[in-house]
Amino acid sequence: MATQSTAITRNVPESAGVSLPAFTLWWREVVRFYRQPARVAGVILSPLLFWVVIGSGFGTSFRSGQGAGQQHYLDYFYPGALVMIVLFTAIFTMMSVIEDRNEGFLLSVLVAPVPRSAIVLGKVLGGTTLAALQGLIFLIFAPLVGVHMSLASFGLIVLTVFLVSFALTALGFAIAWPMDSTQAFHAIINLFLIPLWLLSGALFPLSGASGWIRGVMYINPLTYGVEALRTLMYPEAPSSFSLTASISTLLLFTLFMFGLAFVMREAAEAASILKVAWRQALDIPDGRVENTWENRLKIVRVLRERRPRVLILPYWEGRHPDHYTASVLGYEAAFLAGLAKLAVSRQPSAISRQEIDAAVVGEDADATLPHRPFKIIYASLYRDVRPTFVVDITKQFETRFQALMAYKSQFTDQQAGSNIFPAQKEIRARVESIARFYGMQAGVTYAEPFVQKEMGLVDDLLAIPVKSI
């Protein structure tokens, strides 16, 4: 129930490759950021103020060791302030993913003849470039805290800042991709990413932390980025990890986060294969599809905005609770969408607590107009029930299977989960055999079954397809 799609048929030109689309999106992120001077200043000045105030406040009362350059808290806190700049820039740059989706720009990119990997690469590299540049600008204050870099150490600092920027930008992309609300994105930032920075050794050393805090810091990948920067800036200061260990761990974290960002774009790739003109993922997590008032309102808003004539739902019985719950949830939302006195805002983020608690009755200039789908049909492919009708998918079968296989994290042959998920060849055999079975019943090669609850109506007996004998 987390995805609604409208498919159209059109001729798609050949892909433009990865490099040009990725470069275009990268350049757009850079230009967009630096066209907002207040945003640029805020990203640097906020951590700078934080560094000066907290560093001066602790002053000489804090001692991280007797190494050179470590006598004052301003010195100790400097690498952490640099990482804070990188964090703020990387994460909030990726908020543009949500803005692009709500403004319609992401839709135009998704239906363009470009690889989905180019979207991920362009957005992530754009955010990485901005975060790294903003962090490196902060290095102009390095001489004030006794940091004197050689050419080699400066190169390693640039590498470390780049890896931290890339990892945090990829993390921001993975968080922002399934969201349609900037408020929800900010909530995740406050709940997860700020503590990630606080427990990275930016504010206090790992060696002086209590037992459980130290354990959290050890498994926090950002700790190794802060430690690498501190080791490069203050070589004589005590360090919890070697420079090699810190950079290696940071590199692994970077690769993992970029892989996660690619997984998040699988649904977009499937949509591209199917030539889907519009796709939206609702904030209803896997395994938690519940028939609540809040979830009904989410679907009501989509139905009113997209105004579909036909709504396809899962069959109302099934093995997976999400599937049969989605069936009932979709039906009830379709009914509510037609109520003229139920006011639901146009914007996803504007569904208020009052709307969730009770139906909002009255006139609202920003409310969506009522709309109820004319037809509701149920996909019964995996249920042993006689379908009301089948659809000939002979020409679309291969494309349909390619879209299914686009979810590589679920269907790629792998050792983990092999006892739960069948191999690709077995999936192909199952899908094809079912489609052939229903196709044979209708006199075509491949067909897909559907069920409708209401009586069917025929205008012309001579036009009924599928012969009887």
- At 188-233, the pLDDT tens digits run 877 878 888 888 888 788 777 777 888 888 888 888 888 888 888 8
Q: What's the token pair of residue 295?
A: 């979830």
In a domain, 429, yes or no: yes
330 and 414 fall within a common domain: no
pLDDT of residue 320: 85
Considering the domain architecture, whether residues 103 and 238 belong to the same structural domain is answered as yes
Q: Is the pLDDT of residue 357 over 70?
A: no
12 located within any domain: no
Q: Give the model confidence (pLDDT) of 289-301 as tens digits.
A: 889 998 899 899 8
The verdict on residue 4 lying in a domain is no
Pair (131, 234) in one structural domain? yes
Answer whether 129's CB lies under 8 Å from 30's CB. Answer: yes
Residue 356: pLDDT band with limits 50, 70, 90: very low
Number of domains in the chain: 3
448 and 346 within one domain = no
242/357 same-domain check: no
For 149-164, write each residue's pLDDT tens digit: 888 888 898 999 999 8
> Among 361, 379, 397, which residue terminates a domain?
379
Strands 447-451, 375-379: parallel, antiparallel or unpaired by DSSP? antiparallel
Looking at 205, 236, 268, the residue that finishes a domain is 268
The residue whose two tokens read 């950079």 is: 247
**Which one of 239, 268, 297 terminates a domain?**
268
Q: Are residues 428 and 336 in the same domain?
A: no
Q: Is residue 36 situated within a structural domain?
A: yes
The answer as to whether 418 is a domain residue is yes
% of the chain at pLDDT higher than 90? 10
pTM above 0.85?
no
**Stronger pLDDT, 443 or 351, i.e. the higher one:** 443
Residues 58, 76 within the same domain: yes
Residues 165 and 38 in one domain: yes
Looking at the structure, do residues 263 and 323 belong to the same domain, yes or no? no
Residue 465 in any domain: the answer is no
CATH number, domain at 308?
Answer: 3.40.50.10320
pLDDT reported for residue 143: 83
pLDDT of residue 350: 42
CA gap 149, 157 in Å, rounded: 9
Q: Is 9 part of a structural domain of the chain?
A: no
Domain that holds residue 306: 282-379
Note whether residue 468 is domain-resident.
no
pLDDT at position 3 is 43
d(CA 202, CA 193): 13
CA–chain centroid gap for 133, Å, is: 24
Same domain, 365 and 391: no
Residue 377, strand partner residues? 312
Residues 307, 437 within the same domain: no
Residues 369 and 405 in one domain: no
Strand segments (E) across 140-258: none
